[in-house]
Structure 1
Amino acid sequence: MSSNEIKKQIEVLTAELKQHNYNYYVLAMPTIADYDFDQKLKQLAELEKQHPEFADPDSPTQKVGGEVTKEFVTVRHRWPMLSLGNTYNAQELLDFDQRIRKAIGDNFEYVCELKFDGLSMSLTYENGQLARAVTRGDGVQGDDVTTNIRTIHTIPKKLNKVDYPELFEIRGEVFMHRKAFERLNNERIENGEVPYANPRNFASGTVKMQDSAEVAKRPLDCFLYGLYTDKTLFKTHWESLEALKKWGFNVNDHSRLCNNIDKVLEFINYWDTERFNLSYDIDGIVIKVNHYGQQQELGFTAKSPRWAISYKFKAERVETELLSVSYQVGRTGAVTPVANLQPVLLAGTTVKRATLHNANEIIRLDLHEGDSVYVEKGGEIIPKIISVNTEKRHQNAAPVAYITTCPACGTQLERKEGEAAFYCSNDEGCPPQIVGKMQHFINRKAMNIDGLGDETIETLYQKGLLRHISDIYLLHEHSDELKQMERFGEKSITNMLDGIEKSKQMPFERVLFGLGIRYVGATVAKKLALHFKNIDALSKATYDELIAAEEIGDRIALSLIEYFSGEVHQQEIQKLKDAGLQFAIEEKEITLTSHKLAGKTFIISGVFEKFSRDELKDIIEQNGGKILSSISAKLNYLVAGDNMGPAKLEKANKLNIPIISDEELMGMI
């Protein structure tokens, strides 16, 4: 290759790897397998070594991770959070072992630890109390996520009274167990939200949420494995792990002390198969020289320690035949392609289907009918097609063409700008959408109707007794028809009708969630109910009034406006009102503690350290003040916390509205 070609190749690889770093560390949405990323990184490192004149000073080979998000306070790490070099085979491990022996001789031990597939975290403890939690970030500085990390039960807020230093740092990995991931991801799918690809992404997305109350609802866990202090307290890493357990930290029990590389390889081989029996994901094994003095002697490269290495398991991958592509229509109208496969054993289970996500994925794979495909599970709960073996492609095989009409009702599919999924817009006439909406309405988080399950909804729809949500409240008029149906005994009919009647007492937020408005999950429904008080105010709200509500952004606001503009939806809401459902929250009586804020109007925006936004709202109202729904010339004060939306700030400045802190608000009363 010419010099220009080599330079161009380095530039392309650098840009590509920077983007992958950003996708992985910042967006928590990786678009490349770890193995493929490492191979590209290795290729770039080799090119830079041969042609240092073309190397980018900001090259991914010199950095640990991606950029720091702007949503949290940036904190510099006292001890840099370095990454580890990766290996994928036994020979590379043996080479690593030889380098160690050449440097320090044969008298040393290794500690082998499971490599958890989660989010790296640094915790600082002062006088036995958790003072700060910071993400890895770019390895030099990360995001302060202390408020969110405090919600994790396995992370001690205060330590047992034992002999620990006044100030120390401990490193670990925040993760989510697979069962919790499946449950929460299914809820996202039910709510019409984009599901996370794997538990690691869900854990990462959770840690970066603004509302710690929502974080607390998601079951995160954490294993700790690295102690950092100004003064060395122990001679070995193994001793420090034992001490951490005594101090009250959640240290994984599967670590092992190995006196040679053969024992290390035994440990790796054991966990290569046994990992599938764990309740959480691991993607490899971390191997460290045990003695701290020997670690110091071995030292560091620019981005990783020379005394430790990571052995990464290859995600289990099998080859099988694509039999066909079918399409599922969800409650929100999203049409998802699914690959039907020749059954094959993968990671201990027989796989017959694999997700194809959307039309873009079919194009990316260049999928053809009858293709031989590679299927991988790895960190994914649902198997996915990774690539195609084009050498086995039939000569006249036709490309898989994404359907243009709904497979259930024949309606022309639409794709909104900026979205990957195609949608069927016939929400009132498409059977899977109709049934899905009713099944969503009766579920536990919505109306929680006893005696009425998903199968019953399906049966009653097939019999013509249900077509809209409101028809559920007319079932008592069809008791004779119900009695003639199979598996509908008198007792089960009575229980069902009683459950339907009791559901009329469900609060407004549950009814709102049950309507199944796209992007309006249980939490968003609660925020909307608290802000707008009743369905009439919500249905008439303008775009500006909607985004003024807590945690309501552009996408949710537009979805609400679109929903309430539909005449069929308005008619349905009226029928539900007539049936006696709750479409307003019960206003609690406000007891005034003073009139110091009488005649003054406020909007609260951002995140506050000492108060929740609801607490500040109560304080304002209890002192005679009034909360407005949107910024206008009528507003007296904008109470601003951290991470307030830039649009609100700009509008307030434009109207010369005083912007005050929560402390200044408290000073007024």
Structure 2
Amino acid sequence: MTVPSRGEASRRIAILREELARHEHLYYVLDRPEISDDVYDSLMTELLGLERAWPDLVEPDSPTRRVGGRPVEGFEKVEHAAPMLSLENGFSEEDVRAFLARVERTLGRLPPLSGELKIDGLAVSLLYEEGRFVRGLTRGDGRFGEDVTSNLRTIRSLPLRLREALPGRLEVRGEVYMKKEDFASLNAEREEEELPLFANPRNAAAGSLRQLDPAVTASRRLSVYLYQIVEAPLQGLTSQSAVLERLRELGFPVQPGHALCRDGDEALAYLERWKEERFSLPYVTDGAVLKVDDIAAWETLGATAKTPRWALAFKYPPEEKKTRIREIIVSVGRTGALTPVALLDPVPLSGSVVQRASLHNQDEVDRKDVRIGDRVIVRKAGEIIPEIVAVDVEARDGSERPFRLPERCPVCGASSVRLPGEAVLRCPNRSCPAQLREGLRHFASRGAMDIRGLGEKIVAQLVDRGLVTTLADLYELDREKLLMLERMGEKSASNIIQALETSKKRPLARLLAALGIRYAGARVAEILAQAFGSVEALAAASEETLADVDGVGPVIAASVAAFFADEANRRTLDRLARLGLRTSEARRAASVPLPWEGRRVVFTGELQRATRAEAEERVRALGALPSSSVSAKTFLVVAGEKAGGKLDKARAASAAIVDEETFWRLVGEAEDLFRSTAPEGEKEVTVENHDPR
């Protein structure tokens, strides 16, 4: 492909950035997409290619910067321009009336109030200069917040450039949150990988925004709503209602549900209205906020050391109800874990009817002393996940029955085992139909191979009829076999065949994530794909080599090594490769050794000439493996500005330490050496970039 001139590239880059920003606003803020994912991906790929060809044209607010930059060693503490105060809480109608009376006493009247829903997330403050996003802080202690700018850039609904080129500074505040659907998906993924679950969306959002690796944050699908302007070159904003409208005009996502309440009765009616309606929203709200709408009155009302006197956060009480456990069944997951699930008498709870709740494992059943037939108190953790809070022991009549997980798998009959150090009982039979069903569902899911049309019922029929006994069998399905299934028409069969064919083109990272290796989710799969480049290289890697890869560690390394040591897994992967799936990245193999083949390079501190991700890509192209820790095998430690504790460890280990200038000189020399010895057509090694979405 012909590389355009700098002028042509600059003009096309400007068009692409504007177009991508518009489509991101339509998709993530307005929920009105105009183009398909494939078209969006093609625009993003074109922009990535142009920016790679002309790196001096890359700007911080480019849509390509959202995918996550370099990992950081810690968050810098920055003082807020104005303190980020917490809101006073109210829990009853009396609390609300007391707040209204105080406002009326101070002002001599009760002005209109702005009613806004209170999102259960993490408060942030965002700074824009000349209309461009330059810095974002968490609330912290109210006076000092943590600089999480790189992580905030990954949030698709947050504009990196405003719709108007405002002069000077603009500081806005809002809440980062995680939608219910994304929270449920994240916890489901963590449960499959047997990682600790997040208690609620707020904890998930806070933990995700404070990840040291922005790429992890990017994978968590966070969202943001803005509700306050702190510092701005704006005139005429005299009310909170006007502020919200102005934020919308600038392209910020603003939460719907706002209402102007003319008096106390309307304020109380607003709170009562959303007591139940909030459950229909796609995100969690734990209350509503009443603010004096007249901004000029805020100064008169003042503030305490911690809270402003012009606002009140009303908290709705958590909804808990009693029901009865009719039965406890056992679910078998794709890793063989046997999970007790309580079947409940249906009970309306937080906007839906709840009929089952996971009891996680036998230890949890024993700790809560849960029995079949018990009356129990249930609630939704984070208003999403049903859980049993406690047993009403006083209601027992003697008919209740204790529960024990079975000694054999309820699906295939294999003897269940409990491995040392684990809380779960497990079915060891890899051919267990339940494990196969769950494994196929995971393999076909959107975050894995994304095989459209291959839903739960289709998968169940394929397994039950013996049409699919391994993952590779999927790709040997034909129209005739699919038409044997119930309610399967010609069009649906053709669509599944096409979806299977399309999935063969998924990148290596998606395939690795789809395999369902324990502890190796989407992010770990991405790391492994980048570090090793092919299934063959990954299968040949020792547990020690795997553990030394940045972001892997000993537990994941042991799981990955065990997976590839299994002969059945190897046979499946061989079949997948023969059937046309991508088991390697687009790397041109060199006929001469790469200059830094197998060597480990550690980065510490901030690089000035490139992001850490870009520097790591350069050393990977030379055959090296970027590492997060200094060891006896470390080839080079690159010390940038503000180098952290790794530098001390490198000195103690007598490792070779270089500054950034020396590092780039060594890289250039190694690349020159490779070009001088490699045959034509192998003058450089390229690594395919992964889908930024």
1:461 alignment partner in structure 2: 463
Between the aligned partners of 1:155 and 1:404, the Cα distance in structure 2 is: 51
Counterpart pick for 2:356 among 338, 353, 356: 353
Counterpart pick for 1:414 among 413, 418, 428: 418
Check the 8 A contact 2:550/2:626 in 1, yes or no: no
2:636 alignment partner in structure 1: 637
Deviates more, 1:512-521 or 1:204-213: 204-213
1:392 alignment partner in structure 2: 395
Check the 8 A contact 1:438/1:457 in 2, yes or no: yes
With over 3 angstroms needed to count, the CA separation of the structure-2 counterparts of 1:375 and 1:600, relative to structure 1, is closer
Provide the secondary structure at the position in 1 that maps to 2:140.
coil
- What do residues 387-441 of structure 1 show as CA deviations (whole Å, max 9, x unaligned)? 3333323356455545565433353342553x6x514150424331133223433
2:247 alignment partner in structure 1: 244
With over 3 angstroms needed to count, the CA separation of the structure-2 counterparts of 1:89 and 1:569, relative to structure 1, is same
Unaligned stretches of 5+ residues in structure 1: 1-68
Structure 1 residue 183: deviation in Å?
Answer: 4.9
1:627 aligns with 2:663: no
- What do residues 451-492 of structure 1 show as CA deviations (whole Å, max 9, x unaligned)? 86654443343344543334556668xx99988777788998
Check the 8 A contact 2:436/2:469 in 1, yes or no: yes
Structure 1 residue 301: deviation in Å?
Answer: 3.0
1:296 alignment partner in structure 2: 299
Counterpart pick for 1:659 among 648, 657, 660: 657
Structure 1 residue 284: deviation in Å?
Answer: 0.8
- What do residues 149-201 of structure 1 show as CA deviations (whole Å, max 9, x unaligned)? 1233433323344777x334321011233344445555555666555444333
1:118 aligns with 2:116: no
Structure 1 residue 517: deviation in Å?
Answer: 0.9
Between the aligned partners of 2:576 and 2:162, the Cα distance in structure 1 is: 53
Question: How many positions carry a matched residue from both structures?
Answer: 590
Between the aligned partners of 2:640 and 2:365, the Cα distance in structure 1 is: 44
Between the aligned partners of 1:70 and 1:311, the Cα distance in structure 2 is: 38
- What do residues 520-561 of structure 1 show as CA deviations (whole Å, max 9, x unaligned)? 223422321221233343234234421332422333212112
1:341 aligns with 2:344: yes
Between the aligned partners of 2:516 and 2:631, the Cα distance in structure 1 is: 31
Between the aligned partners of 1:296 and 1:197, the Cα distance in structure 2 is: 38
One-letter amino acid of the structure 2 residue matched with residue 512 of structure 1? L
Check the 8 A contact 1:637/1:658 in 2, yes or no: yes
2:204 alignment partner in structure 1: 202
Structure 1 residue 80: deviation in Å?
Answer: 2.4
With over 3 angstroms needed to count, the CA separation of the structure-2 counterparts of 1:602 and 1:462, relative to structure 1, is closer
1:262 alignment partner in structure 2: 265
Check the 8 A contact 1:370/1:397 in 2, yes or no: yes
Structure 1 residue 518: deviation in Å?
Answer: 0.9
One-letter amino acid of the structure 2 residue matched with residue 113 of structure 1? E
Provide the secondary structure at the position in 1 that maps to 2:123.
strand
Counterpart pick for 1:436 among 421, 438, 442: 438
One-letter amino acid of the structure 1 residue matched with residue 201 of structure 2? P
2:222 alignment partner in structure 1: 220
One-letter amino acid of the structure 2 residue matched with residue 637 of structure 1? L
1:313 alignment partner in structure 2: 316
Provide the secondary structure at the position in 2 that maps to 1:152.
coil
Structure 1 residue 218: deviation in Å?
Answer: 4.5
1:66 alignment partner in structure 2: none
Between the aligned partners of 2:130 and 2:484, the Cα distance in structure 1 is: 72
Provide the secondary structure at the position in 2 that maps to 1:209.
coil
Between the aligned partners of 1:267 and 1:295, the Cα distance in structure 2 is: 22
One-letter amino acid of the structure 2 residue matched with residue 224 of structure 1? L
Structure 1 residue 263: deviation in Å?
Answer: 1.8
Check the 8 A contact 2:110/2:263 in 1, yes or no: no
With over 3 angstroms needed to count, the CA separation of the structure-2 counterparts of 1:280 and 1:498, relative to structure 1, is closer
The alignment's TM-score, normalised by the length of structure 1, stands at 0.75
- What do residues 85-129 of structure 1 show as CA deviations (whole Å, max 9, x unaligned)? 222210121122233334443354432221112221111223433
Check the 8 A contact 2:157/2:253 in 1, yes or no: yes
- Percent sequence identity over aligned pairs: 36
With over 3 angstroms needed to count, the CA separation of the structure-2 counterparts of 1:581 and 1:428, relative to structure 1, is same
1:518 alignment partner in structure 2: 518
Unaligned stretches of 5+ residues in structure 2: 1-71, 669-693
2:96 alignment partner in structure 1: 93
With over 3 angstroms needed to count, the CA separation of the structure-2 counterparts of 1:93 and 1:468, relative to structure 1, is same
Please tell me the root mean square deviation across aligned C-alpha atoms, in Å: 4.1
Between the aligned partners of 1:581 and 1:466, the Cα distance in structure 2 is: 17
Between the aligned partners of 1:324 and 1:391, the Cα distance in structure 2 is: 20
Check the 8 A contact 2:205/2:222 in 1, yes or no: yes
With over 3 angstroms needed to count, the CA separation of the structure-2 counterparts of 1:405 and 1:77, relative to structure 1, is farther
Structure 1 residue 260: deviation in Å?
Answer: 2.7
Between the aligned partners of 2:264 and 2:548, the Cα distance in structure 1 is: 60
Bigger RCO (CA 8 Å, 6+ sep): 2
1:379 aligns with 2:382: yes
Provide the secondary structure at the position in 2 that maps to 1:383.
strand
One-letter amino acid of the structure 2 residue matched with residue 528 of structure 1? L
With over 3 angstroms needed to count, the CA separation of the structure-2 counterparts of 1:392 and 1:665, relative to structure 1, is same
